[in-house]
Structure 1
Amino acid sequence: MHRFNERIIKERCMNDKLTINLSIGGYSFPVNIDRKDEELVRAAAKQVETRYNNFRAHFEVTPFQAMTMAAYQSAVNEFEGKTMNDTEPYSTRIKGLSELLEEYIQKTEQ
């Protein structure tokens, strides 16, 4: 019974909502997140802040333009990651090759 209660408490803590303050481009704002996502959310904000600062340091752009480019670069990276993880074309090709091998094996066994 004791272990069951510990598990329930742990699950509730992990499902708790948390409000954190993020600072990007000189703006600070509260964000409501799941407690379990805090590390991910903070890392994402840090990445956007770094990109923002790089654009401001290396190009003559307004804060708005730097933020827009940082957001754009983040979106491109996200889409690249999704494209790289798309294994459907390979799965389809492997399935087709497997079927060809099966047919060949069946013919040679006859």
Structure 2
Amino acid sequence: MAEKTDIHRKKISFYNKAIALFEAKDGVKNKARVHLKRANSLIREAKGDTGYKGEIALKVTHKPEYKKGQFDKAKADLNVVEPTLAELDSQDVALFSELKKILEEE
């Protein structure tokens, strides 16, 4: 469902629901991938990328406290993902590395 939208806040909402409904039978790898995708959307949204597409690029600026909160949530997600990196594909590992770098620069 989250893949059908580019809007980061909607994606975050979908990923929150997916994580809340996750069951052990769904697998650790799949759960890690959802955490990784949520971390990506959290970081992009906190940095001002709304995800809206169109003739004009819509960017927003957030208060520092909000950004810090979103970055903290993304860090927590990446901490969940890190122990499962060996099970993820190269594209997911590359995204993980990119997100870690962004968070270190903030």
Say whether the fold is shared (TM-score over 0.5).
Answer: no
| Higher relative strand content | 1
Higher relative contact order (CA 8 A, sep 6+): 2
TM-score (norm. length: structure 2): 0.26
Larger Rg: 1
